[in-house]
C-alpha cells in the first residue's frame, strides 16, 4: 500500500508526529503528569490543530495514545516503540528514537493488528517533550552512571556475589532498588518521592565511614548526592 492510499487521518497523524518535537512544547494548552506508581508519564499536548493524549510507559519503553481532531471526527491512535535512548546529564537533552504506527478508530470488535499502519521510523523525540519540565535527574542519565563509576565494581555491588546481595549493574539495578526492603522490618532501599526515608540516600550522606557508600571511600561529590536525591524526590522512575 502506498502513502496515497492510506486513510487520510493516518497520513495527518504521520505529519503531526514528524512535527511533534518542534511544535508541541510551545503550545500553551499542554500538561504532563506522572502516575503514582512512577511507571508512566501521561502527556496531553496540542500539536497543530490536534490534541495528543499519550502515555510514555517506562516499563516497556512504549509511547501510546490518542490523537483528537477539532472537526469532531473519531480519534486516531498511535503506538510507538522506543528503539534507542541517548542518555544525557541534562534530562531535557535526552534523545529517544521511536518507530511508530497509527490506526483509525476500531468500529467493532475484534480490533486487529492489520488496522495499524507504520507511519514513522527512526523518529527522534527529546526529553523536553517526554519528561516533565525542570526534571533535574533521571535514572539512566544521572543515577546509573554514579553506580557504574563507584558502586557496580567487581569488588562491590556487581558480579555473582555482590556485597549485601545488592547488584547495581545497569541490567538489574533498578529492580533491585525500587520499593525493595533488605529485611521485612527495614525501610525501602528506594522509596519514591521520599529520599530521606530511602536507605540508598541515607547511606550516601552518612557521616560514618563504616556505613557510608562507597564503603570506606571518599564521600560522593555533592552534585552526585544531589542527583540521587532529586531522582528519588521526582518519583524514582526508571527513566
Fill in the DSSP letter of residue 32: E
| Domains identified in the chain, total number | 2
Contact 71, 58 (CB under 8 A): no
Fill in the DSSP letter of residue 216: T
Residues 101 and 146 in one domain: no
At residue 168, the pLDDT reads 96
Is the pLDDT reported for residue 97 higher than 50?
yes
d(C-alpha 149, C-alpha 217), whole Å: 13
Residues 216 and 154 in one domain: yes
Q: CB burial class (10 A; 0-12, 13-18, 19+) of residue 207?
A: exposed
* Closest among 120, 46, 132 to 91, alpha carbons compared: 132
d(C-alpha 32, C-alpha 110), whole Å: 31
Q: How many CB atoms lie within 10 A of CB 71?
A: 5
Chosen domain end from 130, 161, 179: 130
Q: Which residue has the cell 472537526?
A: 71
Residues 16 and 122 in one domain: yes
Chosen domain end from 87, 107, 130: 130
Report pLDDT digits (tens) over 33-84: 999 999 999 999 887 778 889 999 999 999 999 988 878 788 899 999 999 9
Report yes or no on 238 lying in a domain: no
Is the pLDDT reported for residue 94 higher than 80?
yes
More confidently predicted of 204 and 15: 204
Residues 47 and 104 in one domain: yes
pTM more than 0.85: yes
Residues 67 and 180 in one domain: no
Residues 78 and 100 in one domain: yes
Range of the domain at 229: 139-233
At residue 28, the pLDDT reads 59
Residues 43 and 158 in one domain: no
Residues 159 and 126 in one domain: no
At residue 82, the pLDDT reads 97
Report yes or no on 59 lying in a domain: yes
Residues 177 and 210 in one domain: yes
CA-derived radius of gyration, the chain? 21
d(C-alpha 152, C-alpha 74), whole Å: 50
Report yes or no on 7 lying in a domain: yes
Residues 61 and 82 in one domain: yes
Q: CB burial class (10 A; 0-12, 13-18, 19+) of residue 202?
A: middle
Chosen domain end from 80, 112, 130: 130
Is the pLDDT reported for residue 27 higher than 70?
no
Residues 145 and 125 in one domain: no
Amino acid at each position: 500500500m502506498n502513502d496515497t492510499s492510506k486513510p487520510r487521518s493516518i497520513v495527518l497523524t504521520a505529519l503531526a508526529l514528524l512535527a511533534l518535537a518542534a511544535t508541541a512544547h510551545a503550545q500553551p494548552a499542554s500538561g504532563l503528569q506522572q502516575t503514582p506508581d512512577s511507571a508512566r508519564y501521561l502527556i496531553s499536548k496540542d500539536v497543530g490543530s490536534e490534541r495528543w493524549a499519550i502515555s510514555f510507559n517506562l516499563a516497556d519503553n512504549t509511547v501510546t495514545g490518542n490523537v483528537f481532531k477539532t472537526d469532531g471526527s473519531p480519534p486516531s491512535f498511535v503506538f510507538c516503540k522506543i528503539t534507542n535512548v541517548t542518555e544525557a546529564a541534562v534530562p531535557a537533552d535526552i534523545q529517544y528514537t521511536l518507530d511508530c504506527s497509527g490506526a483509525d478508530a476500531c468500529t467493532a470488535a475484534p480490533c486487529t493488528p492489520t488496522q495499524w499502519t507504520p507511519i514513522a521510523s527512526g523518529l527522534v523525540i527529546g526529553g523536553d517533550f517526554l519528561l516533565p519540565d525542570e526534571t533535574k535527574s533521571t535514572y539512566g542519565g544521572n543515577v546509573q552512571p554514579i553506580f557504574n563509576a563507584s558502586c557496580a565494581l567487581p569488588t562491590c555491588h556487581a558480579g555473582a556475589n555482590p556485597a549485601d546481595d545488592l547488584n547495581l549493574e545497569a541490567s538489574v539495578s533498578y529492580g533491585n532498588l525500587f520499593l525493595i526492603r533488605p529485611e521485612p522490618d527495614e525501610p525501602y532501599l528506594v522509596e519514591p518521592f521520599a529520599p530521606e526515608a530511602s536507605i540508598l540516600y541515607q547511606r550516601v550522606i552518612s557521616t560514618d565511614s563504616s556505613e557510608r557508600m562507597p564503603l570506606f571511600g571518599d564521600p560522593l561529590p555533592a552534585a552526585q548526592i544531589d542527583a540521587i536525591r532529586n531522582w528519588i524526590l521526582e518519583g524514582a522512575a526508571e527513566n
